[in-house]
Structure 1
Amino acid sequence: MSPADTGEGAGNTAYGKKPFKRSRSHFADRITADGRDGWPVEAGRYRLVVSRACPWASRALVVRRLLGLESALSLGVTDPIQDDRSWRFTLDPGGRDPVLGIRFLHEAYDKRETGYPGGVSVPAIVDVPSGELVTNDFQQITLDLSTEWKDHHRPGAPDLYPEALRDEIDEVAEGVYRDLNNGVYRAGFATGQEEYEKAYGDVFRRLDLLSERLRDQRYLVGDTLTEADIRLFTTLVRFDPVYHGHFKCNRNKLAGDPVLWAYVRDLYQTPGFGDTVDFDHIKRHYYGVHLGINPTGIVPAGPDLSGWHEPHHREQLGGRPFGDGTPPGPVPAAEEIPAAHRA
C-alpha cells in the first residue's frame, strides 16, 4: 500500500479532489519455476516485505504460512506507520531490515528504478543479493506462491488454487475485489456524497451476496480453503475494527450478520489465518496515517476482540479446510504476534 496507489499514505497525501482509483502494480515481474522473467524460484534468495496493517500484504502472509514457505522465503515486517519516505523498518534493531540492510522500503525500489515516481507499496518481494525490488504485484504474488513455488511447499500443504476450480475462484475473487476489497477504500476516500454512496452500496450489496452464498456452504469455492477465502478474509477481519467507522461503511457491523460473522471467525480460528493478524498494527495504521479522514490521529480503544474465539459451528456444514493436506505447524518464534495485539 502506498500514498499513490491505495490511499495508505502519510498525512493528507491520500485525500484529494479526484475519485479514489487504485493504480496497477508498476513492477509486475514474476518469480517462476522456469525463471522466464529472469527471476527463478530459489529458496533463500528473496525476501517478502509486508506491513501487517495492509490487507493486500496480509494475503501473502496467510498463503506463505499455509504453504509452509517460511524457510524458503524470508519475511521483513515494517512499522505500521509510514512517513513521506515510505515504509520504515523501525521495528528492527537499529531501524534497518536485518537481511536487506535498508531503513526504508523505497531503497529497494530505487535499486530497481532510480527516480521511480510511483508509490512504494507492500507486499513487495526483494532480491536479497542485489537488493532490488522484484515485484509489488499483490494480485499475482499469492497465485505464484501457490503454483510456482510448489517444490518448496511443506508436506501436507493445501492446494489453494486448484486447477479445476480456477475459473470459479477468479470470478468470485473479482467481484469481491471490485465491490469489497477495493470498495471500502472507495467509500473511505470518497470526496463527494454521490461517490461515497455508490461505493457504500457496492460494499453492502456484495456482503449480502456473500452472506447468501455462504449460508449453506463452509467455503466460497468447493469444500476446501482457496485463494478466494483468503482474499475475502483480509477485508472481513478489518471490517469492524476499521472500515465500519473509519471508512463510513456503517450500515451494520460484520458481527451483525450471523453468517459472515461465523464464517470469518471460522477462518480466524484456522491455523494460518488468525495467527497472522495484528489488530494493533491495523488500527494504528489506518487511524494514525489517514489524517485527511481522522485529523486528530486518535486510535479507538475498541472494539472488544474477545468474540473472535467464540464457537462458530461452521464445521456442521462439512468441508475439509486443508483438503487432503494438514494444518501448518506452529508459528516460527520470530514471527509470533504479541499477545496484546491478538484477539
Structure 2
Amino acid sequence: MPDQGEFKRDTNYISDRITADGRDGWPVEPGRYRLVIARACPWANRASIVRRLLGLEEVLSMGLCGPTHDERSWTFDLDPGGRDPVLGIERLQEAFFARYPDYPRGITVPSIVDVPSGQVVTNDFKQITVDLSLEWGAYHRDGAPELYPEKLRDEIEDVAEKVFQDVNNGVYKAGFATSQEAYEEAYRALFARLDWLSERLAGQRYLVGDTITEADVRLFTTLVRFDAVYHGHFKCNREKLAEMPVLWAYARDLFQTPGFGDTIDFGQIKEHYYVVHRNVNPTGIVPVGPSESGWLTPHGREELGGRPFGDGTPPGLPPVGERVPALGS
C-alpha cells in the first residue's frame, strides 16, 4: 500500500528484561543499573513516575538527558562537563553502541543501562514500567501501591492499548502526518477517544478500579503535555485540555498526587518539541504560554471516592538532585 502520509512509529525495541530470576542474563540488583530519561519525553516520563511511586530511587539511579537532541541521540548536556556522572558518557548512543556497535535504530528514552559494562539493557518503555512493578518488588518502598494488580491486568491492557493507539501515539500521528487525509483521520480518532475517556472518567476517579494503576500513568503523560505542546504544535486543536472538564479535573487530580506533578518540567517539555521538530516548527521559537497556574487549582475528584494508593501511602519528596522547578519559575 502506498504511503498516505501517515506517521509510523518504530516499535522494535531491545526486548531484554531485568528480572528477579535473571532469566535474560540481567538479574535485579540494587545499584547495578541506571535508568536514563529525559524530562521532556512522555514515554520516559512514565518510567520516572513509576520509579517514584514504587520508591526505587535508592536502588535504581536515574540519569537525566537534556531536552533537545540531534539526529545522533540524546545528550547529557545538563550535567557538569556534559557527561553523565555515573556512566561517564556524553551521549546515550554510546551505551547502545557499547552493546551493539552497528545499532541501526533510534536511540530512545527511557533506557536502562548496565553500569558495570556501560551497555544498554533495554529501551522497551512499555515493559520497563511493568517490570518495575512485577520484578523489582523486593525493593519497593513500604506502602508502595500496586500499579499492575493481577486481577485487573487484562482491563488495564485493554484500556491502555486504546489510549496508546489513539491518544499517546495519536497526537504524534496528527502532528507528524504529511497529508491532510492522514492528519484528519488521526485528529478524529484522538478526540473520539478523549470523548470516550471523558465518559468513562465522569463516574469513576481512575481508569481501572478505584486506585491509581499503570493505565493512569500511561494516559497522564500525554494529558499533561496537551495544552503546552499538542494543542498547537501538533494541531490537536478541537479544544484544550483545560476546556474538557472531566479530563482536566482528572489530570489535575493526578498532577497534585505525589509522584506525578513532581516529575514534570514544562520548560523542558516545550523546549524539546518546539526546538527539535524543525519540520513542524521551522523557527525553533518556544512559546511562553500557556499559564501553568491552573494545575494546582482544586479538582473536586475526591467526591468520586477512590483511594489513590489503595492500602499504601504516598511517596516522600523526590531526592534533591531530581526535583523539578516550581510551576511558573
Letter in 2 for 1:259: V
Name the residue aligned to 1:164.
Answer: 151
Report if aligned partners of 1:33, 1:41 keep a CA contact under 8 Å in 2.
Answer: yes
Deviation at residue 17 of structure 1 after TM alignment: 8.2
Change (3 A) 1:43 1:341: farther
Q: Is the 8 A contact 2:292 2:327 kept in 1?
A: no
Taking the aligned partners of 1:86 and 1:67, their CA distance within structure 2 comes to: 29
SS in 1 for 2:186: helix
Q: In structure 1, which of residues 260, 267, 280 is the aligned counterpart of residue 267 of structure 2?
A: 280
Q: 1:42 is aligned with what amino acid?
A: E
Percentage of pairs with the same residue = 69
Aligned ranges 1:27-42 → 2 under 5 Å: 27-42=14-29
Structure 2 counterpart of 1:140:
127
1:77-135: CA deviation from partner (whole Å, max 9, x where unpaired):
00101123310101001110000000000000001101111110000000000000000
CA deviation map 1:238-295 (0-9, x unaligned): 0000000000000000111110000000000000000000101100000000000000
Partner of 2:94: 107
Aligned to 1:53: 40
Give runs of aligned pairs for residues 1-20 of structure 1, distance below 5 A.
18-20=5-7
Counterpart check, 1:311 vs 2:293? no
The corresponding residue for 1:3 is: none
Give the gaps of 5 or more residues in structure 2: none
Equivalent residues of 1:157, 1:328 under 8 A apart: yes
- TM-score (norm: length of structure 1): 0.94
Q: Does 1:200 align with 2:200?
A: no
- Equivalence map 1:193-342=2 (5 Å): 193-339=180-326
Kept in 1, the 8 Å contact 2:76–2:90? The answer is yes
Q: Secondary structure at the match of 1:77?
A: strand
Between stretches 166-175 and 20-29, larger displacement belongs to 20-29
TM-score with structure 2 length normalisation?
0.98
Secondary structure at 2:71 match in 1? coil
One-letter amino acid of the counterpart of residue 243, structure 1 = Y
Distance in 2, matches of 1:23 and 1:292, equals 19
Q: Aligned to 1:50, what secondary structure does the other structure show? A: strand
Superposed CA RMSD: 1.1
**CA contact 2:73–2:91 (8 Å) conserved in 1:** yes
Secondary structure of the 1:115 match is: coil
Indicate conservation of the 8 Å contact 2:5/2:182, yes or no: no
The answer to whether the aligner puts 1:189 opposite 2:179 as a matched pair is no
Opposite residue 24 of structure 1, the aligned amino acid is: T
